[in-house]
Amino acid sequence: MQRIRQACLASQRDPEEVRLLAVSKTQPAAALQALYDSGQRDFGENYLQEALEKMPQLPADVCWHFIGPLQSNKTRPIAEHFDWVHSLASLKHAERLAAQRPPGRSPLNICIQVNLEAEASKSGLDARGAASLAAAIRQLPQLRLRGLMSIPSPSDDPQLQARQFAAVAQLAAELGPDCAELSLGMSADLEQAIAAGSRWARIGTALFGPRTRPTSQG
Ligand SMILES: *Cc1c(COP(=O)(O)O)cnc(C)c1O
């Protein structure tokens, strides 16, 4: 929280604008509960099965964010159990999530994952793909478009990362005010992300320490 506040001050932003998303993949429910007890409510999970095991162990007012790669055969439980999806990158998944969102629940909040450098190792859409998916999401009342998410290419060049974040922010501005919730920045690069306008800081390692289990599980 201190780092987020400092970064906001450095870029003349209101710290109220930036929310901490605690990325809790591989962490036991007790670790999430400890953060909950200090006031944290937003938690991000990458692996569906692991998240479904932890959810019943945490209080009901936790806001759950799915941030991992989507697969068609897993969209139903995601539509049923999560409040946000930050990693939507296909029309097919958008349509499945919309159809599977239980009636009576508020719309599922969506960030479109973009990959403007077209890195093969990461999912995410280019600018044109993001624009057409945004238009489709606006037609699906069970989904609510909120913003763009991206994972920058690993780099120790802060200026390169700043340029990548700025390109995502520029695209979000072009897409319109319903795309304002930028989900940029992780433990290593949250300062550059906040300078570029991020509203969600997705932080794992800097909160919980290094992950001990591999993160490549399904
Ligand atoms: C794991 C993960 C994070 C958190 O990364 P840290 O470097 O541990 O802060 C953020 N976003 C996504 C999509 C992740 O998979």
The mean pLDDT value for 7-27 works out to 97
* Ligand 1 geometric centre to CA of 65 (Å): 12
| Nearest ligand 1 atom, CA 21 | 10
Say what the pLDDT of residue 214 is.
60
Structure tokens at 10: 């450095």
Mean pLDDT for all residues in the chain: 95
How far does CA 171 lie from the centroid of its chain? 17
* Ligand 1 geometric centre to CA of 100 (Å): 27
DSSP conformation class of 184 = E
* Ligand 1 geometric centre to CA of 21 (Å): 10
Angle (deg, nearest 10), helices 91-100 and 127-137: 20
Instruction: Compute the chain's Rg from CA coordinates.
Output: 16
| Nearest ligand 1 atom, CA 23 | 4
Task: Tell me which residue of 169, 205, 211, 166 sits closest to 187, measured CA to CA.
Answer: 205
Task: Write down the pTM of the prediction.
Answer: 0.95
| Nearest ligand 1 atom, CA 187 | 9
DSSP conformation class of 39 = T
| Nearest ligand 1 atom, CA 206 | 9
Say what the pLDDT of residue 126 is.
96
pLDDT above 90 coverage of the chain, percent: 89
pLDDT at 218 over 50: no
pLDDT above 70 coverage of the chain, percent: 97
Contact between residue 93 and residue 108 where contact means Cβ atoms under 8 Å apart: no
Q: Is the dihedral of CA 144, 101, 112, 31 positive or negative?
A: positive
Cα–Cα distance, 5 to 115 (Å, whole number): 27
Q: How confident is the model at residue 145 (pLDDT cuts 50, 70, 90)?
A: very high
Q: Nearest C-alpha to atom 6 of ligand 1 is from which residue?
A: 204
Contact between residue 19 and residue 201 where contact means Cβ atoms under 8 Å apart: yes
* Ligand 1 residue neighbourhood (C-beta within 6 Å): 23, 25, 46, 67, 151, 186-188, 202-206
Strand segments (E) across 37-142: 42-45, 63-66, 84-88, 108-113
Say what the pLDDT of residue 217 is.
47
